[in-house]
A and B are shown apart, each in its own frame.
Chain A
Amino acid sequence: DAGVIQSPRHEVTEMGQEVTLRCKPISGHNSLFWYRQTMMRGLELLIYFNNNVPIDDSGMPEDRFSAKMPNASFSTLKIQPSEPRDSAVYFCASSLELDSNQPQHFGDGTRLSIL
């Protein structure tokens, strides 16, 4: 079975550019989560969706960050404009449903470097 698929695996871009990270959750999973991992702050939940609707975006650091889920099989996390401090590994995870004992399944992440 295909797991959570993220693209690109690596992204290097100059500050000020727009960055778009993509995620395809596991088929049939209704919940999708975006995390950011850095050495200083560890794993942070940025936003999560249920049935394509954003439920909690309190972890999104600034208005430069936005996330969408136009359908059940695709989500994007966008940073515009990007800054060097946004450099991190961004993970997407999905689970069957919220408020259940279903675990989250993680993608391999996108390693983002902003120069």
Chain B
Amino acid sequence: AQSVTQPDIHITVSEGASLELRCNYSYGATPYLFWYVQSPGQGLQLLLKYFSGDTLVQGIKGFEAEFKRSQSSFNLRKPSVHWSDAAEYFCAVGAKNAGNMLTFGGGTRLMVKP
């Protein structure tokens, strides 16, 4: 069975600082990997996705993530955080040939200090 771990429940960074949110997954084959962001009272918005090919993927809002098979990780990064990035971030793994079912991590809540 697939699983996703986001080790950091809360992270606080200063505006303008760099950001890295960690995600580790467990899956027997090459996974589909996703990062979603959820603002308060909103649904989940897709930031970026990895299916194959280049292991560094670019997403919306200046985010990027790197797939590292050897570490079973898919960490999300942003070089300079803006106050509007404060939200909850979810990493998810999708199982190919299993209905594209998503398993979500527990989420990381990002707070941005002025």
B46 within 8 A of A: yes
Stretch at the interface among A14-22, A43-51, A74-82: A43-51
Task: State which size class the interface on B falls in.
Answer: 20 to 34
A73-111 contacts to B (CB < 8 Å): 91, 93, 95, 98-109
SS class, residues of chain B in contact with chain A: loop
Measured CA separation A31–B32 after assembly (Å): 17
**What residue of chain A has the Cβ atom nearest to residue B107's Cβ?**
A42
Q: Which residues of B contact A4 (CB under 8 A)?
A: 43
Measured CA separation A105–B49 after assembly (Å): 13
A9-66 contacts to B (CB < 8 Å): 31, 33, 42-43, 45, 48, 50, 55-56
Contact of A99 (CB < 8 Å), options: B46, B49, B51, B99: B99
Q: Are A55 and B99 touching (Cβ within 8 A)? A: yes
Q: Which residues of B contact A48 (CB under 8 A)?
A: 99, 101
A55-B99, A101-B51 in contact; A43/B90 too (CB < 8 A)?
yes
Give 22 A-B contacts (CB < 8 Å), ordered by A residue: A4-B43, A42-B105, A42-B107, A45-B101, A48-B99, A48-B101, A91-B43, A91-B44, A98-B99, A98-B100, A99-B97, A100-B100, A101-B32, A101-B49, A101-B51, A101-B100, A104-B100, A104-B102, A106-B43, A107-B43, A108-B42, A109-B42
User: Which A positions have Cβ atoms within 8 angstroms of B?
Assistant: 4, 31, 33, 42-43, 45, 48, 50, 55-56, 91, 93, 95, 98-109
